[in-house]
Amino acid sequence: MSKLKSWILASRPKTLTAAIVPILASTGLVMSEEIQIQWWIIICALMASFFIQIGTNLVNDAMDYKKGADTETRIGPVRVTQQGVFTFKQVMWAATLCFSISVGFGIPLVIQGGLPIMIIGVISVIMGYAYTAGPFPLAYRGLGDLFVIIFFGLVAVGGMYYLLTGNYSWAAFVLGLQIGFLSTVLIAINNLRDIHEDKLVNKKTLAVRLGVGPAKMWICFLIVAPFIAGYYWLFQNKIYFYVIPMLCLPLGISVMKKIIRTNPSAQYNKYLALSSAYAMLFSILFFLGTRV
């Protein structure tokens, strides 16, 4: 495997939908309010989100190896540190570079949005590192799911909405919850897949704390929760915001059935890809719904 391909693998491209989904959906929401879009903001936000996500993935790759969570018995995708493709130090330096690039793309956003955006940016970078590193790694304390709901949902959507409008609203909050739930499906499936290996190294993910059965129910809840929160749009007489995204629900139900019927195994890698497609399809349909 070439070095370039290895770095691409380490970035976990399937997870990068979590960076695209909130920006696409929040852009649709802003456009529905007939506010002129400044596309340079979207581009900078997208690039900053990409590199924060990649940096977080690289730190996770390195720290899980260092803490013994990734071994030769791993059933998930290949981790480059564990496989010896790159050293721990190389992967951590690459993560630092990614976080630095995200800061570079974030500077114009801070100039545009001021102190609130600077605070969001700084905390996002810190939390990206603290997800699996530092004195209180979130993923090892069962807080990873909450982290994703907050930062890939509420913060990502709310920050994008604020940058484009200069305001915040209940609509942005509700959409943030919807996107947060969708993004968390990925980490919930990932952690359920690795539940047995994580138990052995005392990595207390939410799946480990709940157990297999309740963890499956948590995933099912996350899949349907966007449509529970989405009742808000019906009360706001924005029916298409709710109805059109429902076209992706059959895919979500299919993932639910597969998770319920299958014990944690390498088969879950396919379900991760499906859940990523589910989140992406929801955001595309939501965007389309705002244009009706």
Residues 148 and 290 in one domain: yes
Residue 252 makes CB contacts below 8 A (sequence gap 6+) with 223, 224, 278
Query: Among residues 135, 151, 177, which one ends one of the domains?
Result: 135
Helix (H), strand (E), coil (C) string for 139-199 = HHHCCHHHHHHHHHHHHHHHHHHHHHHCCCCHHHHHHHHHHHHHHHHHHHHHHHHCHHHHH
What percentage of the chain has pLDDT greater than the value 90? 63
Chain mean pLDDT for the chain: 90
Is 24 among the domain residues? no
Work out how many domains the chain is built from and give that number: 2
Tell me the pLDDT band of 139, cut-offs 50, 70 and 90. Answer: confident
Helix pair angle (39-66, 88-113), 10° resolution: 150
Is 224 among the domain residues? yes
Where on the phi/psi map is residue 8: left (φ > 0), alpha (ψ -120 to 50), or beta? alpha
Is 3 among the domain residues? no
Cα 122 → chain centroid: 18
Is 8 among the domain residues? no
Residues 71 and 160 in one domain: no
Residues 131 and 152 in one domain: no
Cα separation, 59 vs 209, in Å, equals: 23
pLDDT of residue 268: 93
pLDDT of residue 126: 86
Is 28 among the domain residues? no
Query: Among residues 135, 165, 180, which one ends one of the domains?
Result: 135
Domain containing residue 90: 33-135
